[in-house]
Copies of this chain bind each other. A is one copy, B any other.
């Protein structure tokens, strides 16, 4: 029941149980602090607890430490992963490429580009970044392998290089606005079609 975690000294509120509201507040505080310019290194559990209005123990009950909390918070920025329908390899790739570098939360524009320097600075942060993106990479790998199994894609293609060809253009255009002569809207389809040209069975 929704209010089972409420205690006598807290005002009853409708809706989510208190523990979920605390989790939300902690995630929100983390993202707010990052969006306001705190670096990942400088961010402390103490600062997050203060901002969220909870005790540090509340955070440690839910997350093993700062990295685990950051992983949840940064995944939140990216939203739910796109799920390929599994009918057409081309459609599935257009869906996955279209989701690259896209974020559902407006704070992402301030937070995500700052990950690049962080990734190069420490092994922990490299791992954090990999933990965020590797499930998405895996989805794309599965679509390509399915394409090979179904005989749509050539069996001798280099799957990892193909993934980089699909991902790189979209990422540099969305994150760096790499080439003003490229239309971001049509880019997923154009990239997928250009890559398919080299990897599909004729």
Interface on A for B, CB 8 Å cutoff?
109-110, 113-114, 116-117, 119-120, 126, 129-130, 133, 137, 157-158, 160-165, 167-173, 175-182, 187, 190-191, 194-199
- Given known pairs A168-B171, A168-B172, the reply for A194 and B116 (CB within 8 Å) is no
**B119 near A117 (CB under 8 angstroms)?**
no
**A117 near B126 (CB under 8 angstroms)?**
no
- For A191, the chain B residues whose CB sits under 8 A away are 161, 164-165
A-B contacts, 22 of them at CB < 8 A, read: A109-B120, A113-B117, A116-B175, A120-B177, A126-B177, A129-B177, A130-B180, A157-B194, A160-B179, A161-B169, A161-B182, A161-B190, A161-B194, A164-B169, A164-B172, A164-B191, A168-B168, A168-B172, A171-B178, A194-B198, A196-B198, A198-B198
- Given known pairs A169-B161, A191-B165, the reply for A176 and B119 (CB within 8 Å) is yes
The complex places the Cα of A161 from the Cα of B137 at a distance, in Å, of 21
- Given known pairs A164-B169, A198-B199, the reply for A113 and B120 (CB within 8 Å) is yes
- For A162, the chain B residues whose CB sits under 8 A away are 194
- For A167, the chain B residues whose CB sits under 8 A away are 168-169, 172, 178
The complex places the Cα of A199 from the Cα of B120 at a distance, in Å, of 34
Q: Which of A133, A167, A180 has the most CB of B within 10 A?
A: A167
The complex places the Cα of A178 from the Cα of B119 at a distance, in Å, of 10
User: Which of B114, B129, B165, B171 is within 8 Å of A165, CB to CB?
Assistant: B165
**B194 near A165 (CB under 8 angstroms)?**
yes
Q: Name the residue on B nearest A115 (C-beta).
A: B176
The complex places the Cα of A194 from the Cα of B153 at a distance, in Å, of 13
- For A196, the chain B residues whose CB sits under 8 A away are 198
- For A171, the chain B residues whose CB sits under 8 A away are 168, 172, 178
Nearest Cβ on chain B to A90's Cβ, whole angstroms = 14
The complex places the Cα of A187 from the Cα of B168 at a distance, in Å, of 13
